[in-house]
Amino acid sequence: MEHSSPFDPRSLTDSTPVELSSTQSDNSLYQNDSPQHEEKPQSPIRLKKGIVFLMALVMLVLLSSTLAFAARKNSWWQKLTQPKVTPIPTIQPIGFISSPSPTVTPTPSPSFSPTPKPTPRPSVKASPTPFSSPISLLTNVRFKRVLCQYPDASQQNLLITLSQNQQFEEGSPSIIDCDLTIENTTTVPTEDTFYSITQDGALLKKESIGILAQGIYLPNNSFIQNVTPKQDVGTHTVTITVNPDKLYPESNWDDNSYTFTYQIVADRTPPVVTILDQAQWIQDSQVCYNFGFVNTVDNHSIYDQLHNEYQLDDNAWTSDRTTLVCVPKVSGASHTVRGKSTDQRGNIGQAERTFIIP
């Protein structure tokens, strides 16, 4: 214990008398009798309360940390030991209020209710039937003239006008050319205009002729080339149509097409056999006859499809066209060369020619 210095009477003023009792111990001299120190014995009680509060706070912090650590440890252990389950997503309708309480009825949102879609109006290009637009807004395109011709097999560069239901044998006609004159009878111009050609329903050709104003229009290539008709035996139909896809409305659809038919019948024409002058070849003491100068032509079958035979006088027939037959040269004697050709239909064509030895 720390002690102060011995009492010094000089520290007291004359106006402050101090009386010391004989019964006072020396320790009383060091006691402070001032009023501000009278509550000093209560300080240990406040100190104890503070210590208790501090210990409670520390215990609360330790308890919270222990609980948090236990929760983390339990979650980590479950993740480590339990298999990972991927939750199945639940599709919630937009606008519904989801609640765990079974008493709450989901209320659909006004935006979730499907709005009836308006029925689309038919497109002009997709309409398979004539349009119902006012007549003043419609155009009318028609064929003013259609002239179909085919080449004459007997004369080169000669075209014969095709008539309805005309009959042809197999192999003809080889081509059909149609000269078109297309007319817009209204003041309403058309869109891009097409014409098409079909044969027995199969498309042969489709071509654009551009925008048609009022008046007659002749295509740049007025003849439709490379339209090869079918050669199958029977009746065939060719249809030429302007605006076939109905790309623009018209007031009259009855004059947009031109149709003609033709018939192909079985070939009845035999091959044509011709014996040329060169078939006879005169040498010094003999005369030779060369079958290579016996020509055959058919209207349907090509040469390799024909069966050709040759004969000199009464000798046997031969199919060898390279055969060269020689006889003695006798002035005034005559010899006959014959040729025969059979086409695929069994039609037989024959020819013969008699040569006089000079």
User: What is the CB neighbour count within 10 angstroms for residue 201?
Assistant: 7
Question: Collapsing DSSP states into helix, strand and coil, what is residue 71?
Answer: helix
Q: What are phi and psi of 126, to 5 degrees?
A: -90, -5
Token couple for 149: 């011709």
pLDDT for 239 equals 92
pLDDT for 82 equals 57
The rounded distance, in Å, linking the Cα atoms of 227 and 350 is: 34
Q: Comparing C-alpha atoms, which of 184, 250, 241 is closest to residue 207?
A: 241
pLDDT for 267 equals 87
Token couple for 201: 């329903």
What are the angstrom distances between the C-alpha of 260 and each of 146, 153, 160, 343?
10, 21, 15, 30
Domains of the chain: 135-265 (2.60.40.10), 272-356 (2.60.40.10)
- Average pLDDT by consecutive 10-residue portion of the chain (358 residues)? 45 45 42 46 72 87 80 60 55 46 52 54 45 54 83 74 87 81 84 87 87 73 67 91 88 89 90 93 89 89 90 93 90 94 93 93
Strand order in the sheet with 334-342: 307-312, 334-342, 348-356
pLDDT for 54 equals 87
* Torsion, Cα of 195, 201, 204, 207 (10° steps): 20
Strands (E), 115-247: 141-151, 159-161, 166-169, 177-184, 192-199, 202-211, 215-217, 234-242
Strands 177-184 and 141-151: antiparallel
pLDDT for 308 equals 95
pLDDT for 188 equals 84
The rounded distance, in Å, linking the Cα atoms of 252 and 143 is: 12
Q: Which residue has the tokens 């155009």?
A: 139
Please write the tens of the pLDDT for every residue from 230-283: 888 999 999 999 999 988 888 888 889 999 899 999 888 899 999 999 899 888
Q: Are 334 and 356 in contact (CB under 8 A)?
A: yes
Radius of gyration of the chain (CA): 62
Q: Comparing C-alpha atoms, which of 264, 295, 259, 262 is closest to residue 277?
A: 295
Q: Is the dihedral of CA 3, 8, 11, 14 positive or negative?
A: positive
The rounded distance, in Å, linking the Cα atoms of 234 and 309 is: 32
User: What is the CB neighbour count within 10 angstroms for residue 227?
Assistant: 19
Give the DSSP letter string of 119-131.
Answer: PPPPPTTT--S--
